[in-house]
Amino acid sequence: MSSDVYDLTIIGAGPSGLFATFYAGLRQMKTKLIDALEQPGGQVAVLYPEKYIYDVPGYSKILAKELVKGLVEQAFQYKPTVVLGERVTSLRKNDGVFELVTDRGTKHLSKAVLVAAGVGAFSPNKLEAQGAADYEGKGVYYFVKDKSIFKDKSLLIVGGGDSAVDWALNIKDTAKKITLVHRRDVFRAHEGSVAELMKSNVEVKLFYEVKSVSGDGAKVTQAVIFDNRSKAETTLDVDAILVNIGFRADLGPIKDWGLQIDGREIRANGRMETNIPGVYVAGDIAGPHDGVKLNLIATGYAQAALAVNVAKAFVDPNSKIFPGHSSEMKK
Ligand SMILES: Cc1cc2nc3c(=O)[nH]c(=O)nc-3n(C[C@H](O)[C@H](O)[C@H](O)COP(=O)(O)OP(=O)(O)OC[C@H]3O[C@@H](n4cnc5c(N)ncnc54)[C@H](O)[C@@H]3O)c2cc1C
Task: Specify the CATH number for the domain of residue 190.
Answer: 3.50.50.60
In this structure, the answer to whether residues 23 and 117 fall within a common structural domain is yes
State which ligand 1 atom lies nearest to the alpha carbon of 122.
47
Per-residue pLDDT tens, the chain, 331 aa: give them.
557 999 999 999 999 999 999 999 999 999 999 999 889 999 999 888 878 899 999 999 999 989 999 999 999 999 999 999 999 999 999 989 999 999 999 999 999 999 999 999 888 899 999 999 999 999 999 988 778 999 999 999 999 998 899 999 999 999 999 999 999 999 988 899 999 999 999 999 999 999 999 999 999 999 999 999 999 999 999 999 999 999 888 898 999 999 999 989 999 999 999 999 999 999 999 998 887 889 999 999 999 999 999 999 999 999 999 999 999 886 6
- Rounded to whole angstroms, what are the CA distances from 186 to 86, 160, 161? 36, 8, 10
Q: Residue 288 sits in which domain range?
A: 2-122+248-328
pLDDT at residue 147, rounded to an integer: 87
Considering 194, 218, 245, which residue would you say is the last residue of a domain? 245
Q: Are residues 174 and 238 in the same domain?
A: yes
Query: What pLDDT does residue 206 have?
Result: 98
| 307 CB near ligand 1 (under 6 Å) | no
Q: Are residues 112 and 190 in the same domain?
A: no
Name the residue at shortest CA distance from atom 14 of ligand 1.
296
Residue owning the nearest CA to atom 33 of ligand 1: 12
Query: Counting atoms of ligand 1 from 1, which one is nearest the CA of 43?
Result: 29
Helix-then-strand count for the chain, H and E: 6, 22
Cβ(18) to ligand 1 under 6 A?
no
241 and 147 in a single domain? The answer is yes
**How far does residue 249's CA lie from ligand 1's centre (Å)?**
10
CA of 250 to the centre of ligand 1 (A): 12
**Domain match, 227 and 308 both:** no
**What is the dihedral sign for C-alpha 70, 71, 75, 80?**
negative
Last residue of a domain, one of 214, 245, 276: 245
Q: Does residue 261 sit in the same domain as residue 118?
A: yes
State which ligand 1 atom lies nearest to the alpha carbon of 119: 30
pLDDT of residue 2: 59
Measured in degrees and rounded to the nearest 5, phi and psi for residue 107 equal -105, 140
Establish whether residue 16 lines the binding site of ligand 1, counting it when its CB lies within 6 angstroms of any ligand atom.
Answer: yes
Task: Please check whether residues 99 and 143 belong to one and the same domain.
Answer: no
What is the atom index within ligand 1 of the atom nearest the CA of 300? 26
pLDDT at residue 245 in the model: 95
Pocket flag, ligand 1, residue 11 (CB < 6 Å): yes
Ligand 1 neighbourhood includes 34 CB (under 6 angstroms): yes
Verify that 253 and 229 share a domain, yes or no.
no
At 257 the three-state DSSP class reads coil
> 169-180 burial string, b = 16+ CB within 10 Å, else e?
bebbeebebbbb
**Residue 49: CB within 6 Å of ligand 1?**
no
Contacts of 73 (CB under 8 A, 6+ apart): none
One domain for residues 281 and 197: no
Question: 130 CA distance to ligand 1 centroid (A)?
Answer: 32
pLDDT at 81: 98
Q: Are residues 241 and 259 in the same domain?
A: no
Closest ligand 1 atom to residue 18 Cα is 25
Among residues 273, 258, 281, 259, which one has the least CA distance to residue 314? 273
User: Beta partners for 100?
Assistant: 91, 108
Residue to substitute in 108, 293, 297 for testing ligand 1 pocket (most ligand atoms within 8 angstroms of CB): 297
110 shares a domain with 253: yes
Q: Is the CB of 284 under 6 A from ligand 1?
A: yes
Q: Are residues 167 and 237 in the same domain?
A: yes
- Cβ of 166 closer than 6 Å to ligand 1, yes or no, is no
Query: Which residue is closest in CA terms to ligand 1's atom 39?
Result: 121
- Rounded distance from Cα 330 to ligand 1 centre (Å): 32
Which residue, of 245, 279, 304, is where some domain finishes? 245
Whether 121 lines ligand 1, by a CB cut-off of 6 Å, is yes
The number of domains in the chain is 2
